């Protein structure tokens, strides 16, 4: 099946299903739930890392790229998982974390022991003549991006946690080692690869201070050399598979660069994630802040990226949710009164757009953020650091908690809610994160009585069976509407108009004259009448299909 026809489901293994009662999800648990995944009809599953790791950043601090962390199972479990998914037509996508390794990785440990070969794997620098750190760069998790390198007079770079040492991609041996990792998993039957923060690998050889008032990330993010690295990695590994599927996580990227990363003629990646639309509820670009989402800005970003990528033959990974984001329902929908309808609307926006849709586990049953009441419930290092930083900057403990509660990554990492029991049917032990609303939102109830899972099935089927959804062009529809985000898709003689009401108030739009004879392809409300004045109910999505033949 072509990339444009596929839908990818993301599983955070730690939170999907626990087969052995230790409170942490595992590979055997995923195997147990394959019938559920098959029922949804997704084509591939992206798994967050389950490699050996001290888990300082929930597996994104990898200590061994070649071994399964015993917390999640064994290599035999993984091989069984790949085989059983393949048997039902589902592919596997693994998360490759190549910007950095854990400081427990053998490469870093050898570097610490004085091995010059492996010291060249990392960014090791002397302090400045005045004794200050090599540069003024800030870690994305807070604090300086440099830490002392053992008992030497050197410092090592870590753009994230101090236990995540950045690899120096200028070194050909580093690039070759990363290709070797990809090829190892290709030999295990893996056809999909997601590359974590891959566009921050393009740092300069000479690292310099960020000018006053300029964010340090601008010095190393999305630089031209990243595309050289990706072409080389493609040729040395996954590019040798005609049906490989790759996606790059691109921090602060641009449409122009993302076209470069994904245009098939460049032989780099299949598609990219960008996060601009998920920053429309940030005050002045600050994540740890609180405000209603900016709908005009959200629309312009969604539309601008879709239009630009279409024009340049680039390809997007389309998503609202992942393991690093609070649940979209709480941010862009109505998690209370209109939970189901707004979930269906949000799903329609991306599943009928040009690109490859990703579903994050639980999204298809309308899971929402947990209702935690203290910082004691959170475990993520980013949230804990942010809370302390907010308090230090003058926020009250209550206000700091309120902000963290709306933006914490743990919001999406709570266990998958399989049933209404106290542990959500996730484990017989103590869940590593506490679920809070499983009594009303869970798989068992959704499959028995709900409409949302079925709606996702419909969306997936449309992409897999209708060329206009998979391959149609994208055009803008009335960006100035106060409540509706709409767009056109077109392929041959067919036109598809997709209208999405982002609010709890009904609204009326003028139906284009040519669409008055169209048919209703999809709606999340029954009994739709096409007329010159189209009334969209709260959080209604409506897709009208016209075939001019």
Query: Positive or negative, the Cα torsion across 33, 37, 38, 43?
Result: negative
Q: N- to C-terminal Cα distance for the chain?
A: 27
Contact 411, 327 (CB under 8 A): yes
Which of 110, 109, 107, 148 is closest to 126 using CA atoms? 148
Contact 138, 144 (CB under 8 A): yes
Contact 504, 539 (CB under 8 A): yes
Cα–Cα distance, 466 to 148 (Å, whole number): 56
Stretch (H or E) spanning 521? strand 519-523
Stretch (H or E) spanning 535? strand 533-536
Query: CB neighbours (10 Å) of residue 138?
Result: 15
Of these residues, 196, 380, 446, 481, which one is catalytic? 196
- The DSSP annotation for 130-179 comes to TS--SS-PBPTTSSBSEEE-TTSSEEEE-SS-TTEEEB-TTSHHHHHHHH
Query: CB neighbours (10 Å) of residue 128?
Result: 12
To the nearest 10 degrees (0 to 180), the angle between helices 397-407 and 381-392 is 150
SS3 of residue 96 by DSSP: strand
DSSP 122: B
Of these residues, 161, 249, 303, 410, which one is catalytic? 249
Structure tokens at 274: 């960008």
Contact 330, 368 (CB under 8 A): yes
Q: What are phi and psi of 324, to 5 degrees?
A: -105, 5
Strand order in the sheet with 271-273: 271-273, 245-249, 192-195, 91-96, 44-47, 8-11, 356-360, 317-318
373 has catalytic annotation = no
Cα–Cα distance, 470 to 354 (Å, whole number): 7
HEC letters along 222-285: CCCHHHHHHHHHHHHCHHHCCCCEEEEECCCCCHHHHHHHHCHHHCCCCEEECCHHHHCCCECC
Residue that has been written with the tokens 């490699």 in this structure: 51
How far is C-alpha 5 from the geometric centre of its chain's CA atoms?
19
Burial of 348 per CB tally in 10 Å (0-12, 13-18, 19+): buried
SS3 of residue 291 by DSSP: coil
Cα–Cα distance, 85 to 79 (Å, whole number): 10
Residue that has been written with the tokens 């209708």 in this structure: 466
249 has catalytic annotation = yes
Q: Which active-site residues does the annotation give?
A: 196, 249
């Amino acid at each position: 099946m072509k990339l444009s026809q596929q839908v990818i489901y993301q599983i955070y293994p730690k939170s999907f299903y626990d087969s052995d009662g230790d409170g942490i999800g595992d590979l055997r648990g995923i195997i147990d739930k394959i019938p559920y995944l098959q029922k949804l009809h997704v084509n591939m599953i992206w798994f967050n890392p389950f490699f050996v790791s001290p888990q300082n950043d929930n597996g994104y601090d990898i200590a061994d790229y070649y071994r399964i962390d015993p917390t999640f199972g064994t290599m035999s479990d993984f091989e069984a998982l790949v085989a059983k998914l393949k048997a039902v037509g589902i592919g596997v996508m693994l998360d490759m974390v190549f910007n950095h390794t854990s400081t427990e990785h053998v490469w870093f440990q050898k570097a610490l022991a004085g091995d010059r070969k492996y010291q060249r794997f990392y960014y090791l620098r002397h302090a400045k003549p005045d004794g200050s750190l090599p540069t003024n760069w800030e870690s994305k998790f807070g604090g300086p991006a440099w830490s002392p390198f053992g008992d030497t007079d050197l410092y090592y770079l870590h753009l994230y946690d101090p236990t995540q040492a950045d690899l120096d991609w200028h070194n050909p041996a580093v690039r070759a080692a990363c290709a070797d990792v990809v090829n190892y998993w290709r030999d295990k039957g893996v056809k999909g690869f997601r590359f974590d923060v891959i566009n921050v690998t393009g740092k300069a050889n000479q690292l310099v201070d960020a000018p006053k008032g300029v964010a340090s990330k601008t010095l190393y993010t999305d630089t031209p050399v990243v595309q050289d690295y990706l072409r080389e990695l493609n040729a040395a590994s996954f590019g040798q598979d005609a049906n490989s599927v790759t996606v790059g996580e691109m921090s602060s990227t641009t449409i122009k660069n993302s076209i470069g990363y994904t245009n098939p003629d460049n032989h780099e990646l299949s598609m990219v994630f960008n996060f601009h639309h998920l920053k429309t509820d940030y005050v002045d670009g600050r994540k740890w802040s609180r405000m209603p989402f900016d709908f005009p800005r959200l629309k312009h970003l969604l539309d601008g990226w879709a239009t630009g990528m279409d024009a340049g033959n680039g390809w997007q990974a389309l998503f609202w949710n992942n393991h690093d984001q609070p649940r979209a329902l709480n941010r862009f929908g109505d998690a209370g009164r209109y939970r189901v309808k707004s979930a269906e609307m949000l799903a329609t926006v991306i599943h009928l757009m040009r690109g490859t849709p990703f579903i994050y586990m639980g999204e298809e049953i309308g899971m929402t953020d947990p209702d935690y009441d203290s910082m004691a419930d959170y475990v993520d290092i980013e949230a804990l650091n942010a809370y302390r930083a907010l308090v230090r900057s003058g926020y009250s403990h209550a206000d700091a908690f309120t902000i963290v509660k709306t933006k914490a990554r743990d919001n999406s990492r709570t266990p998958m809610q399989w049933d209404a029991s106290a542990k959500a049917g996730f484990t017989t032990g103590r869940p590593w994160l506490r679920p809070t609303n499983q009594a009303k939102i869970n798989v068992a109830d959704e499959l028995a009585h709900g409409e949302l899972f079925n709606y996702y099935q419909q969306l997936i089927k449309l992409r897999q069976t209708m060329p206009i959804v998979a391959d149609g062009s994208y055009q803008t529809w009335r960006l100035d509407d106060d409540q509706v985000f709409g767009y056109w898709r077109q392929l041959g003689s067919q036109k598809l108009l997709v209208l999405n009401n982002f609010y709890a108030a009904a609204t009326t739009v003028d139906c284009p004259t040519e669409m008055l004879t169209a048919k209703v392809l999809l709606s999340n409300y029954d009994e739709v009448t096409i007329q010159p004045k189209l009334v969209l109910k709260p959080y209604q999505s409506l897709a009208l299909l016209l075939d001019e033949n």
